A and B are shown apart, each in its own frame.
Chain A
């Protein structure tokens, strides 16, 4: 079992729809959860981080964390063609002064005009 799992996609949604991106992780000690966006040929850039169970909203983006189910998701409301990118889930375990960050393979999102 991979430590962080994502469906590689592509996930296709029409413009204006809600895109739902999902990620599961295996380490119950995981403490920090991140969503990065990576456009083709570019470096990953942070969209959101979440530490606590529940929802965290930032503009059109909502991150959801359920530690009991070891599940984190990203919702993109009113999807735009400019949201078309690969979305990477990252999970951090921090112990003894050191971090271990694991990235998922990423989900490719295509927003169809």
Chain B
């Protein structure tokens, strides 16, 4: 596609429910990143995929968070048993995944998650 897309754009859920967030990267981009951004705060790194593998998942805040990527393309971020502190905008970005010249990240529009 022309850019990174994310769905849903907004998600309101009740505390304790599971949610799935989806990211479609730019076609051909091998690297994919998930970030979280709370209101007025900076970007919080969650996980990085190179192809289908996740060499860096150090940012996942707890075992309630997991992510997968299939076919080197679409990625889903799953949050189990959501808590109110999970409320934030979840941003996905992709890049060419190579060295210099292909490592610019392009961001999707984000999913705004609200946990009631």
Interface pick from A54-62, A63-71, A100-108 = A100-108
Asked whether B65 is an interface residue with its Cβ less than 8 Å from the other chain, the reply is no
Query: Nearest chain A CB to B38's CB is how many angstroms away?
Result: 12
Asked whether A25 is an interface residue with its Cβ less than 8 Å from the other chain, the reply is no
Q: Which residues of chain A have C-beta atoms less than 8 A from B91's C-beta?
A: 43-44
Known A34-B104, A43-B91, A49-B104; contact A103-B97, beta-carbon cutoff 8 A: no
Q: Which residues of chain B have C-beta atoms less than 8 A from A90's C-beta?
A: 105
The residue in chain A whose Cβ has the minimal distance to the Cβ of B41 is A105
- A-binding residues in B (CB < 8 A): 31, 33, 35, 41-43, 45, 48, 50, 55-56, 91, 95, 97, 99-100, 103-110
- B-binding residues in A (CB < 8 A): 31-32, 34, 42-46, 49, 51, 88, 90, 92, 94, 97-106
What are 11 residue pairs bridging A and B, where the CB atoms are less than 8 Å apart in the complex?
A43-B110, A44-B107, A46-B106, A88-B43, A94-B100, A94-B103, A98-B56, A101-B33, A101-B48, A102-B45, A106-B42
Q: Tell me whether B99 and A45 are in contact (CB under 8 A).
A: no
Q: Tell me whether B97 and A99 are in contact (CB under 8 A).
A: yes
Q: Which residues of chain B have C-beta atoms less than 8 A from A51's C-beta?
A: 100
Q: Tell me whether B107 and A99 are in contact (CB under 8 A).
A: no
Query: Nearest chain B CB to A1's CB is how many angstroms away?
Result: 16
Q: Which residues of chain B have C-beta atoms less than 8 A from A105's C-beta?
A: 41-42
Tell me which of B103, B106, B108, B110 contacts A99 (CB under 8 A). Answer: B103
